[in-house]
Amino acid sequence: MRLTVIGCGYVGLVTGACLAAAGHEVHCTDIDEKRIDQLRMGRIPIFEEHLEQVLSRAVAEKKINYTANAGEAIRAGEVIFICVGTPPKETGEADLSAIDHVARQIANEARTPKLVVEKSTVPALTGVQLQKALAAYSRNGTVKFEVASNPEFLREGTAVEDFFHPDRIVVGVENARSAAIMREIYAPILERKFHCPVHGGTCPEGNSGELLVTTISSAELIKHASNSFLALKISYANVISDLCERIGADVEEVTRAMGLDPRIGTQFLKAGLGFGGFCFPKDIQAFIHLASSVGVEFDMLKAAESVNKQRIQRFFEKIHKALWVIKGKKVAVLGLAFKANTDDIRFAPALDVIRRLLEEGAEVHATDPQAISKAHALVPRAIYHEDPYEALKGVDAALICTDWQCFRTLDWEKAGQTMARRLVIDGRNLYSPKKMQEMGFDYHSFGRL
Ligand code: UGA
């Protein structure tokens, strides 16, 4: 099928590349001409495992192209995926101006009927507005548009795997014709007829995902309801962690036992610095806002958000207690990305930690396997090191902010020999408190004995 992807950010890049790898002809466009130039030269502007492999295969098979000419891309596809950003406004409400802009552009440029698919995360009822805008701006009302919602459930770092091996594919549609088109688009994935970049020729047996057909409003709601629930789970674990510290229990023992109940599940119960990234913090706010706009007060989400905001303060209480005065101290920050396996620093707790350390007068030495250049552009006052052992030289304390595997396996004996003081404050509970103590470290983490 001929598809158009508008917006070459994280979601658009992964969606376009994976749909092309699944055998479709994909035309991608973006308002950012520089980004399009980069992509045409084969440069991928984000770090995402397997994406390069998927993309180079799609390019070699001439299944994907990038153009800055939106009209050309719009006319080339039968189905148009809108993958533009929906950042938060000051109020927490989602800013839908890019969706509105694209809707007008599609209506103006299309010459034949299109199925327009919301892939960007949008609040419920956006589909209704999108349909209205497409009809209102349609050239003389002659070109007909249908709308669908197809939320993505991709996690950064494992997005390609998530795309090819989904738990579920949700398509919110107006009618059976749109449902059939969406089913055809995802048929290669559901039938596993694609070259899997993650497992080569041997994908694990079992579930290949279920395609759920819903109304558009349900599909929109499913996305926000899922992300908010996961955020709620993390904040719950963080409150349990605070409680563990007060009463002398171990949060990992507690959450592991809780999670063995399949009704609860072990995932997203890791305590620490809390959630960041461009999804949970903004989606939870947009969901609260949407609920309130229709007269439903989502107090439990407000509480989850407030618990998350307090995590940095809780971290600093630990730093102050262990290090005492921050001013004039040399501090290493291990991890800049909001989580492991990505270079994304949007709403990353590590950046809030660094800014506050700098405000309090520390000399900050930061390291991350992927996110240094992005962090440097935002916080140039910190000193950045590619090598974590260099970042740790002569420091009074090491702070762990991201759960990268290379930090988990760091040789602390080696690092400890060059640190001015053997103090580690771990915001991601990466190490065994017992082992760190045995190595002579003053070690602090969240909710553990
Ligand atoms: C999240 C969802 O997991 C995806 O399903 C969704 O498609 C995506 O948002 C989106 O809306 O696009 P992502 O933001 O990539 O994916 O990251 P997660 O793996 O969900 O982690 C979010 C944050 O929670 C990270 O900062 C992570 O460190 C933190 N986290 C996660 C915890 O603090 N504790 C946990 O137990 C799990």
pLDDT tens by residue, 250-304: 999 999 999 999 999 999 999 999 999 999 999 999 999 999 999 999 999 999 9
Q: Which ligand 1 atom sits closest to the C-alpha of 11? A: 12
Q: Separation of 97 CA from ligand 1 center, angstroms?
A: 25
- Write out pLDDT tens, residues 46-67: 999 999 999 999 999 999 999 9
- Find all residues with CB under 8 Å of 302, minimum gap 6, and list them: 288
Q: What pTM was estimated for this model as a whole?
A: 0.95
The stretch 409-421 carries a mean pLDDT of 98
Amino acid at 421: R
Q: Separation of 275 CA from ligand 1 center, angstroms?
A: 7
- Find all residues with CB under 8 Å of 122, minimum gap 6, and list them: 86, 94, 96, 99, 149, 220
Adjacent-strand bridge partners of 367 = 334, 385
Q: Which ligand 1 atom sits closest to the C-alpha of 152? A: 7
Nearest CA to ligand 1 atom 27: 275
Which two tokens mark 250? 């171990």
Ligand 1 — pocket residues by CB below 6 A? 121, 152-156, 227, 230, 234, 268-270, 272, 274-277, 279-280, 338-339
Q: Which ligand 1 atom sits closest to the C-alpha of 273? A: 33
Pocket test for ligand 1, best of 168, 230, 279 (most atoms within 8 A of CB): 279
Question: Percentage of residues in the chain with pLDDT exceeding 90?
Answer: 95
Q: Separation of 132 CA from ligand 1 center, angstroms?
A: 33
Which two tokens mark 426? 């771990």
What is the pLDDT, as a whole number, of residue 165? 95
Q: Which ligand 1 atom sits closest to the C-alpha of 339? A: 28
- Please determine, for residue 336, whether its predicted confidence score (pLDDT) is greater than 80: yes
What is the pLDDT, as a whole number, of residue 103? 97
Q: Separation of 135 CA from ligand 1 center, angstroms?
A: 36
The stretch 383-409 carries a mean pLDDT of 98
Q: For residues 195 and 201, what is the distance between their CA atoms, to the nearest angstrom?
A: 7
Q: Separation of 64 CA from ligand 1 center, angstroms?
A: 29
Quick one: pLDDT band at residue 425, thresholds 50, 70, 90? Answer: very high
- Write out pLDDT tens, residues 431-448: 999 999 999 999 999 999
Counting Cβ atoms within 10 Å, is residue 163 exposed (0-12), middle (13-18) or buried (19+)?
buried
Q: 99, 86 in Cβ contact below 8 A?
A: yes
Question: Percentage of residues in the chain with pLDDT exceeding 70?
Answer: 100
- Please determine, for residue 153, whether its predicted confidence score (pLDDT) is greater than 90: yes
Q: Which ligand 1 atom sits closest to the C-alpha of 340? A: 28
Considering only 97-106, 150-159, 190-199, 331-340, which range has the smallest mean pLDDT?
Answer: 190-199
Helix/strand/coil percentages in the chain, nearest 5: 45, 15, 40
311 sits in the region (left: phi over 0; alpha: psi -120 to 50; else beta) called: alpha
Nearest CA to ligand 1 atom 6: 153
Residues serving a catalytic function are 279
What is the pLDDT, as a whole number, of residue 202? 85
* Residue labelled with tokens 């979601």: 11
- Write out pLDDT tens, residues 172-221: 999 999 999 999 999 999 999 888 888 887 888 877 789 999 999 999 99
Pocket test for ligand 1, best of 150, 163, 234, 446 (most atoms within 8 A of CB): 234
Nearest CA to ligand 1 atom 23: 275
SS3 letters across the chain:
CEEEEECCCHHHHHHHHHHHHCCCEEEEECCCHHHHHHHHCCCCCCCCCCHHHHHHHHHHCCCEEEECCHHHHHHHCCEEEECCCCCECCCCCECCHHHHHHHHHHHHHCCCCEEEEECCCCCCCHHHHHHHHHHHHCHHHCCCEEEEECCCCCCCCCHHHHHHCCCEEEEECCCHHHHHHHHHHHHHHHCCCCCECCCECCCCCCCCCEEEEECHHHHHHHHHHHHHHHHHHHHHHHHHHHHHHHHCCCHHHHHHHHHCCCCCCCCCCCCCCCCCCCCHHHHHHHHHHHHHHCCCCCHHHHHHHHHHHHHHHHHHHHHHHHHCCCCCCEEEEECCCCCCCCCCCCCCHHHHHHHHHHHCCCEEEEECCCCHHHHHHHCCCCEEECCHHHHHCCCCEEEECCCCHHHHCCCHHHHHHHCCCCEEEECCCCCCHHHHHHCCCEEECCCCC
Q: 369, 340 in Cβ contact below 8 A?
A: no
168 sits in the region (left: phi over 0; alpha: psi -120 to 50; else beta) called: beta
What is the pLDDT, as a whole number, of residue 207? 73
What is the rounded average pLDDT for all residues in the chain? Answer: 96
DSSP state, 154? P
Q: How many CA atoms lie within 13 A of 45 on its CB side?
A: 18
- Please determine, for residue 41, whether its predicted confidence score (pLDDT) is greater than 90: yes
What is the pLDDT, as a whole number, of residue 200? 82
Residue 106: alpha-carbon gap to chain centroid: 27
Pocket test for ligand 1, best of 154, 347, 408 (most atoms within 8 A of CB): 154
Q: For residues 231 and 244, what is the distance between their CA atoms, to the nearest angstrom?
A: 20
Counting Cβ atoms within 10 Å, is residue 60 exposed (0-12), middle (13-18) or buried (19+)?
exposed
